[in-house]
Amino acid sequence: MRRIYDALAEFVGIWRSTVENPGKGRRIKRRHEDFIVEEITNEGDLVSIENPVIKCYHRGKGYVRAALIKRGRETHEAIRYIAKKLGVREDHIGFAGTKDKRAITSQRISIKGIKPEEAVIEEPTIRVTSAVECGAPVRLGELRGNRFTVTMRDGIRSEEAREELLEKGFINYYGFQRFGANRPVSHIVGRFLLLGEIENAFDAYVAAEEMGLVPDELVKEPKEARAAREAYANGRIREALDMFPKNFVYERRLLSCLLRTGDKKKCFIRTFPYRLRIMFIHAFQAYVRNVSLSRAIERGELPQRRPLPGFRTRVRYAKDLLKGISGSKRRRNRLPGGRRNVIMRLDTPEKIRIEGSKAVIRFSLRKGSYASVALFEAFEAKE
């Protein structure tokens, strides 16, 4: 298998590819409409962007299920906006999974305690529509997968790469967005949480670069944010708070709380509710799985399935990564582990459509698999 040489891929444990002859240097997500993601529900319904139809399969009342269609917005940012707009608590809004920011995406959400007619939002970058009454919320993981429509605007010169991808499948790594595509620190924060070092988790979220935990070249954010992180690392908390741009909501919440209370642990728990803290932990779990899989492949092993670290599983080639994280800590953090296919194939792939200098490809993937990984393997495509 081909060795991958890419700084971000190596940092998150992605070292190997099934595709020997990739199309070189493809770029994705140059425009929001270049990356379209439409959720496929557990029942097999497509949450279409053009004409979303939401069905409820649970009798009763108490919740509204609706389609969330967003453009250029991060999922948690969109949830915060909806909560504020509708006057409900953030944790009363359920969703099955996060979707890409630099994209146009659609997915099911649920909202507790309102009527369908109260759930309608029509904004340029956020729409909530097709609301129906339902007896149960949408929970994390409650989806079958996603359908992707991807445009690459510099064309595709390697049909051979696509054929390899369809014939061999791709290594089922966890993708870049699991760790933070613009600032890959989620797994670092997750490791500190598993170790019980919440103060270090606070510091890593705010200033991992200044702690030497993430290379500068992998961070893509405004210079004001970088200056704020440096100020925090040097003890200038008020200055850092003032310097962070308004859309850096969590950094600003953390620092504002710290100025009031002086308690990093309390502020971290207040700022990040459980469902966000568990995502950090899952990011570390994904990192360990990526690295252990790459190490296994380097030793000539390619098992059909590979375990996720947890209190029910043992992972080979990852002992150094799990040092200090006992089984009891994994159990306390609700990290049971499991197994995950090593090789995945595209569901219902369509032929690449060439339109002048751009190429359009549409395919579906089961939940837990990443379009960015498939495209990176086949075309070395990156944002």
Q: Catalogue all structural domains in the chain, each as residue range(s) with its CATH number.
A: 2-27+153-172+344-379 (no CATH), 35-145 (3.30.2350.20), 203-275 (no CATH)
Positions annotated as catalytic residues are 100
List the structure tokens of 163. 């054929």
CA–CA–CA angle 187, 192, 197 (5° rounding) = 165
Name the helix (H) or strand (E) containing 275.
Answer: helix 274-298
Q: Which residues of 274-289 are buried (b: 16+ CB within 10 A; e: fewer)?
A: eeebbbbbbbbbbbbb
CA-based torsion, 122, 38, 89, 198: positive or negative: negative
Crossing angle for the helix pair 198-207 and 249-261, to the nearest 10 degrees: 130
Q: Which residues of 259-269 are buried (b: 16+ CB within 10 A; e: fewer)?
A: eeeeebeebbb
Assign 335 to helix, strand or coil: coil
Q: How far apart are CA 72 and CA 240, in angstroms?
A: 26
List the structure tokens of 190. 């997750």
What is the chain's alpha carbon radius of gyration, rounded to the nearest angstrom? Answer: 21
pLDDT in 10s for each residue of the chain, 383 residues: 667 668 888 999 988 777 666 655 566 778 899 999 999 999 999 999 999 999 999 989 999 999 999 999 989 899 999 999 999 999 999 999 989 888 999 999 999 999 999 999 999 999 999 999 999 999 988 999 999 998 877 655 556 556 666 777 788 899 888 898 789 999 999 999 999 999 999 999 999 999 999 999 999 999 999 999 999 999 999 999 999 999 999 999 999 999 999 999 999 999 998 888 988 999 999 999 999 999 988 888 877 777 677 766 778 888 888 888 866 555 555 666 677 788 887 776 676 676 766 778 888 998 888 888 887 777 666 66
- Beta-bridge mates of residue 366: 145
Q: From the centroid of its chain, how far is CA 32?
A: 17
Q: Of all residues in the chain, what percent are helix, strand and coil, respectively (each to 5)?
A: 35, 20, 40
Output the furthest CA–CA distance in the chain (Å, rounded): 59
- Cα separations in angstroms, 166 against 210, 355, 364, 374: 42, 21, 13, 10
- Cα separations in angstroms, 112 against 133, 250, 334: 10, 24, 25
